[in-house]
């Protein structure tokens, strides 16, 4: 890049939201550059061989119901730029002690059929919401500042804003259905007796039925690479190894969009903002962190439950009670002995991830923000509990705690993967209550990361919305 170039817009950070913002600006005829601090693009959507040669691991995001359902990504020709979605046989399995598993199947009917006494209750809960699935995905396309949450629109609206424990206990009788719901709700990082944890349980189940829980062939990096390739085909420029420490370091441009979280924004651009705005950035709350382990295996995970072998994602934590206790412990700043594990086994359905007959496993659990506790043994013990013999198949592994994750991507403050806590208050009004969450008090400076609505996850919608706001300024 000739640093004297004049751009319409510069995006700082090449995560899915940064790339989405750049794409939206470029497809509206703007001259755009992306500055990425690290040596590779993609932010939370990157993949690499971090264990043995030939084993491709997702370093951040693995499973992409939000990415697949994202109206913005769907509007782009990403398949022409190398993106291919892989749908596992079943989106999710949730094993229980004793060798059985609840399975989230693509159809509500088939899922309900596996839930015994709770079959009818499951259908009653999910059918009306899933009939609204397009509208639910469509919440992404509302006007910035007027975002309404999907499930607030859906027929079970009010209940969805409550807590997962209360909802599951009032609707279901047995551990299978309760556990399945609890595992989805635990994606919220909230204790399961806190609102709106129920919404996450409903949203992820609904997305599974309506869209599936697919992942990109070759790794989540393929999604970032497809966005980058499309951007470059429109003349957009991307520069890696270009960390931005201050606004003044950005090449000449009319607008800057920051794919960073409030703490970083304060450092980079705080002197251009009002005191009130800076104080609100300082008050922004981060959520629990994660502890992650990637495994290279010499065979598939030997799940006791058949359902485990058909699913791309497996939730490990057994009953609602156990998952709720674990997530509450994390909320209190503790490290549960039996943590809730989110596990993905992409290589079962995507042979590009590992050498013939070998497999990759991606697994993480929640830990207190900034934790330095090594959860590797507890994660392995939870997998072994539902898949005896797992440990014997490990060829290599690589663990990452909160500090390592933050070194890898500075947006993961204290290991928080959602760009900030997603409780009722901060989910809808992030980074702070403001009519337009993407703008700042400084003309031409915007925030486009997951610290803006609709929040964490690989969907690109924060980037898209921020770009739409910037385009009005650039018009
Ligand atoms: C372990 C893990 C598992 C996850 N699992 C899933 C999942 O399965 N499904 C899902 O949908 N989501 C998942 N996520 C969340 C998802 O990755 C994030 O929500 C998403 O990547 C956020 O996108 P973003 O563009 O806002 O920020 P990020 O993807 O975090 O990108 C920010 C980028 O900005 C760069 N940057 C930061 N500061 C600067 C600077 N000063 N100068 C230049 N560049 C800078 C960073 O290096 C990074 O590349 C996971 C995340 C992690 C870490």
Strands 215-216 and 85-86: antiparallel
Cα 87 to ligand 1 centroid, rounded to whole Å: 23
Give the integer Cα–Cα distance in Å for 342 and 232.
34
Q: Output the pLDDT for position 133.
A: 75
Q: Which of 17, 38, 61 to mutate to test the pocket of ligand 1 (most atoms within 8 A of CB)?
A: 61
Q: Are 394 and 55 in contact (CB under 8 A)?
A: no
Q: Whose CA is nearest to atom 13 of ligand 1?
A: 61
The DSSP string of 13-66 is: --SHHHHHHHHHHHTTT--EEEE-SSSSS-TTS-EE--SSTT--EESS----HH
Burial status of residue 392 (CB atoms within 10 A of its CB: 0-12, 13-18, 19 or more)? exposed
Q: Whose CA is nearest to atom 10 of ligand 1?
A: 457
Q: Output the pLDDT for position 424.
A: 83
**The residue to which tokens 């629109």 are assigned:** 153
Cα 227 to ligand 1 centroid, rounded to whole Å: 14
Binned at pLDDT 50, 70 and 90, residue 223 comes out as very high
Q: Output the pLDDT for position 160.
A: 65
- Ligand 1: nearest atom to the Cα of 455: 19
Cα 462 to ligand 1 centroid, rounded to whole Å: 12
Cα distances (Å, whole numbers) of residue 31 to 10, 11, 244: 9, 11, 19
Q: Which of 15, 264, 412, 449 to mutate to test the pocket of ligand 1 (most atoms within 8 A of CB)?
A: 15
Give the integer Cα–Cα distance in Å for 55 and 276.
48
Cα 391 to ligand 1 centroid, rounded to whole Å: 30
Give the integer Cα–Cα distance in Å for 17 and 114.
37
- Ligand 1: nearest atom to the Cα of 405: 53
Cα 112 to ligand 1 centroid, rounded to whole Å: 34
Minimum mean pLDDT range among 2-6, 151-155, 249-253, 404-408 = 151-155
Q: Which of 20, 21, 36, 43 to mutate to test the pocket of ligand 1 (most atoms within 8 A of CB)?
A: 43
Alpha helical stretches, state H, 140-288:
150-153, 157-160, 164-171, 175-185, 197-210, 221-233, 262-269, 275-283
Q: Whose CA is nearest to atom 36 of ligand 1?
A: 13
Cα 385 to ligand 1 centroid, rounded to whole Å: 31
Q: What is the pTM of this model?
A: 0.96
Cα 419 to ligand 1 centroid, rounded to whole Å: 8
Cα 43 to ligand 1 centroid, rounded to whole Å: 4
C-alpha dihedral sign at 458, 460, 466, 467 = positive
- Ligand 1: nearest atom to the Cα of 400: 1
Tens digits of residue pLDDT in 22-61: 999 999 999 999 999 999 999 999 999 999 999 999 999 9
Cα 409 to ligand 1 centroid, rounded to whole Å: 7
Query: Given a cut of 90, is residue 263 above it in pLDDT?
Result: yes
Q: Tally Cβ neighbours within 10 Å of residue 381.
A: 16
Q: Which residues line ligand 1 (CB under 6 A)?
A: 12-18, 35-38, 43-45, 60-64, 66-67, 243-244, 259-260, 264, 268, 290, 292, 364, 405, 409-412, 417-419, 449-450, 456-458, 462
Query: Region 187-197: what's the mean pLDDT?
Result: 92
Lookup: tokens for 260: 């960073």
Cα 449 to ligand 1 centroid, rounded to whole Å: 8
Residue 365: its H or E element: strand 359-367
Cα distances (Å, whole numbers) of residue 474 to 28, 30, 165, 269, 462: 11, 9, 47, 20, 18
**The residue to which tokens 């070194």 are assigned:** 407
Q: Output the pLDDT for position 159.
A: 64
Cα 3 to ligand 1 centroid, rounded to whole Å: 26
* Residue among 176, 422, 200 nearest 319 (CA): 176
Q: Which residues contact 426 (CB under 8 A, 6 or more apart)?
A: 284, 285, 420
Rg (CA), the chain: 21
Q: What is the side-by-side order of every strand in the sheet holding 445-447?
A: 237-239, 32-35, 7-12, 253-258, 445-447
- Ligand 1: nearest atom to the Cα of 242: 43
- Ligand 1: nearest atom to the Cα of 410: 37
- Ligand 1: nearest atom to the Cα of 13: 34
- Ligand 1: nearest atom to the Cα of 450: 26
Q: Output the pLDDT for position 157.
A: 54
Lookup: tokens for 159: 């209940």
Q: Which of 458, 459, 462, 465 to mutate to test the pocket of ligand 1 (most atoms within 8 A of CB)?
A: 458
Residue 324 or 129, more confident: 324
Tens digits of residue pLDDT in 383-436: 999 999 999 999 999 999 999 999 999 999 999 999 999 988 898 889 999 999
Tens digits of residue pLDDT in 118-137: 999 999 999 988 877 777 66
Q: Tally Cβ neighbours within 10 Å of residue 373.
A: 12
Query: Region 144-160: what's the mean pLDDT?
Result: 51
Q: Are 361 and 295 in contact (CB under 8 A)?
A: yes
Q: Are 16 and 197 in contact (CB under 8 A)?
A: no
The torsion angle over the Cα atoms of residues 317, 321, 327 and 330, rounded to 10 degrees, is -100
């Amino acid at each position: 890049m000739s640093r004297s170039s004049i751009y319409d817009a510069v995006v700082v950070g090449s995560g899915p939201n940064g790339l989405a913002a750049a794409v939206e600006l470029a497809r509206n005829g703007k001259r755009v550059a992306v500055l990425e601090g690290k040596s590779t693009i993609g932010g939370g959507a990157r993949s690499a061989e971090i264990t043995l040669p030939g084993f491709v691991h997702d370093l951040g995001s693995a499973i992409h119901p939000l990415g697949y359902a994202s109206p913005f990504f769907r509007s782009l020709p990403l398949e022409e730029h190398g993106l291919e979605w892989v749908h596992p046989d079943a989106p999710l399995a949730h094993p229980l002690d004793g060798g059985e598993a609840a399975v989230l199947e693509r159809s509500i009917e088939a899922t309900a059929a596996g839930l015994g006494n709770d079959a009818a209750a499951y259908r009653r809960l999910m059918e009306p919401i899933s009939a609204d699935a397009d509208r639910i995905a469509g919440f992404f396309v509302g006007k910035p500042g007027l975002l309404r949450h999907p499930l607030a629109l859906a027929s079970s609206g009010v209940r969805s804003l409550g807590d997962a424990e209360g909802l599951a206990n009032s609707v279901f009788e047995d551990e299978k259905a309760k556990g399945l719901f609890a595992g989805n709700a635990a994606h919220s990082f909230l204790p399961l007796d806190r609102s709106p944890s129920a919404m996450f349980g409903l949203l992820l189940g609904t997305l599974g039925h309506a869209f599936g829980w697919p992942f990109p062939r070759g790794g989540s990096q393929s999604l970032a690479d497809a966005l980058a390739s499309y951007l470059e085909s429109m003349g957009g420029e991307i520069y890696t190894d270009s960390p931005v420490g201050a606004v003044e370091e950005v090449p000449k441009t009319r607008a800057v969009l920051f794919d960073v979280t409030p703490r970083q924004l304060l450092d980079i651009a705080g002197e251009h903002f009002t005191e009130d705005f800076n104080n609100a950035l300082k008050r922004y709350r981060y959520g629990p962190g994660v502890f992650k382990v990637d495994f290279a295996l010499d065979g598939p995970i030997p799940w006791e439950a058949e359902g485990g072998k058909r699913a791309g994602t497996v939730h490990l934590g057994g009953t609602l009670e156990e998952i709720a206790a674990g997530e509450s412990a994390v909320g209190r700043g503790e490290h549960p002995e039996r943590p809730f594990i989110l596990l993905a086994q992409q290589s079962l359905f995507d042979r590009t991830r590992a050498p013939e007959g070998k497999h990759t496993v991606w697994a993480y659990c929640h830990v207190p923000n900034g934790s330095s506790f090594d959860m590797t043994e507890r994660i392995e013990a939870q997998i072994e509990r539902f898949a005896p013999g797992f440990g014997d198949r490990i060829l290599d592994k690589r663990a990452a705690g909160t500090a390592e994750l933050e070194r890898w991507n500075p947006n993961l403050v204290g290991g928080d993967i959602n760009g900030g806590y997603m409780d009722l208050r901060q989910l809808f009004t992030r980074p702070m209550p403001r009519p337009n969450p993407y703008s700042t008090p400084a003309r031409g400076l915007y925030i486009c990361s997951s610290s803006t609505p609709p929040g964490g996850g690989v969907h690109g919608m924060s980037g898209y919305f921020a770009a739409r706001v910037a385009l009005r300024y650039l018009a």
